[in-house]
Chains A and B, each alone.
Chain A
């Protein structure tokens, strides 16, 4: 510790500084959390999202009807009725709309989050490695991405169904396996741009391994872009799921999702706008919240944003 002793010799106004010296260090993450919680729109969005998710999980067991139960006395679209326990009314075949909306919310949120999580994990790690390592690794990974792009999604899903049988967890994986491609390209581009920056060279000169440079410098610096892309991906996946379900490749009746409820409701739009508006309202509020939350996260992760 001889060099430390010599530093102390040089402390200009030693006495004054000692008092203020024990300021503890904060990391980017602690700062980001503080900034996120200071953002009203983001906090409100988190609360609303939490409520929607909780409702989707907790409400169905307490309802008088289940999502797949037909009300044989009223096999037709029926307006909301409190005596019968159909708080949002029923759909055209007499199933309780509230129960179906809540159940559909479970599926949609699950699909959206799981598929996005898969896309995030694969896309960020592969994109960062390709962009940062470069050379042959980059070529190999990006040609693989190109190859995957060329495979049509529906075809991919059908192959998976044939191989593994009907299983809607598989569909999450299939969607995630397609969504990560764009993410990987975005992340690779960012990593390529970052690689040129002097601070990456400085990190290497400071003895950082490739892994630690990716984890400590590349990932935090691309997180802003990634967060925005994630908030765009979740709605995309939710809509994609309804498309696949419509083709009979995704969720099967009587199971449902917001996307399916909306497409069913759209057919009844004139007679019973309620069947379209209710699930659409849930979906819209949820997607808005994801967007506000994404904006908030991006701002929170940017130290230049005060």
Chain B
């Protein structure tokens, strides 16, 4: 199977000016990320806030110009300044945003919002056909077609996110990038929206990139999981392997921080300590970016950037000492 999306060594750096003079500092939001995505697959991207996961999603969508690296969509290179290719790709690559209300125009009706991609990509579609497709789509995401004339503020958060999902799905895209789609929602609604995404994925055979800081949700929806830290890939592997035997100290720490429902087990659980906040991406540590918070760090970690190595087939890890670190 050929890859739907190939990302190679993608970098997104933002110049941060401090003062009028002098070279700007570079904020390395995404720093050398590579991965492939095949059709029908869900890739979960996890990491703490500020690790560059949203920037990565936006760079793939060409909403932010990448600084370096390449993106290939359906085998063809996708460059930010190639307006034609970008537009064509956008017809097949859609996005669901984090804040359900902010991502909907307050002065558009639900029907108009969902129909917008149709207006852009199928301007010849008659109004009647367009409305029929919008109604079908609304039903598919669990909204009543009678709500077509309501405005976003008249919907609940979960319903707004369903509108956002309907807008993303109406063109029948090949890939939908979900940027923290459920983190702004109530816990009770979260599962419904995640399950809706999974159902739609199965029904339409699309790929998802699911960006979240919630490890439990990512585990539920993903086939493969990528762990990001300060814009770099720490670990990338099949879901079950990664959750069962995390190889990178950072992944181990993240998983250890997830509470276990059983208090006995929770108490007995070995703790990998993840203290403090991640360092500023403006001045990342040399060598391994995780070394300032890593319990296993040695002198080599400060000098040499650990390459992303294959630990198993389809399980990569970027750590000098992954072989010797005890599995938890």
Which A residues are closer than 8 A to B by beta carbons? 3-4, 6-12, 14, 17, 20-21, 23-28, 31, 197-199, 201-209, 212, 216-217, 220-221, 301-304
Contacts and interface: CB of A to CB of B under 8 A. Distances in A.
Nearest to B134: A25
B97 A20 contact: no
Contact of A203 (B58, B105, B135): B105
Nearest to B177: A205
B6 to A, nearest CB: 20
Nearest to A223: B107
Nearest to A11: B139
Interface stretch (B109-117, B211-219, B297-305): B109-117
Given A8-B136, A206-B120, A207-B91, A23 B107 contact: no
Nearest to B107: A220
A217 B91 contact: no
B120 to A, nearest CB: 4
A31 to B, nearest CB: 8
Contact of A212 (B108, B120, B172): B120
Given A4-B133, A28-B109, A207 B87 contact: yes
Interface string B121-157: 1000000000101111101101011101101010000
Contacts of B98: 198
A217 B120 contact: no
11 contacts: A7-B137, A25-B115, A25-B149, A26-B111, A201-B58, A201-B97, A205-B95, A217-B108, A221-B107, A302-B107, A304-B153
A132 B133 CA distance: 31
Nearest to B118: A206
B201 to A, nearest CB: 12
B115 to A, nearest CB: 8
Given A7-B140, A8-B136, A23-B148, A202 B107 contact: no
Nearest to A302: B107
Interface string B31-70: 0000000000000000000000000001001010000000
A213 B102 CA distance: 16
B310 interface: no
Contacts of A198: 97-99, 102-103
Contacts of A4: 133, 136
B106 A304 contact: yes
Nearest to A4: B136
B128 to A, nearest CB: 9
Interface in B171-185: 172
Q: Most chain-A CB neighbours within 10 Å: which of B87, B91, B121, B140?
A: B140
Contacts of A25: 109, 111-112, 115, 131, 134, 148-149
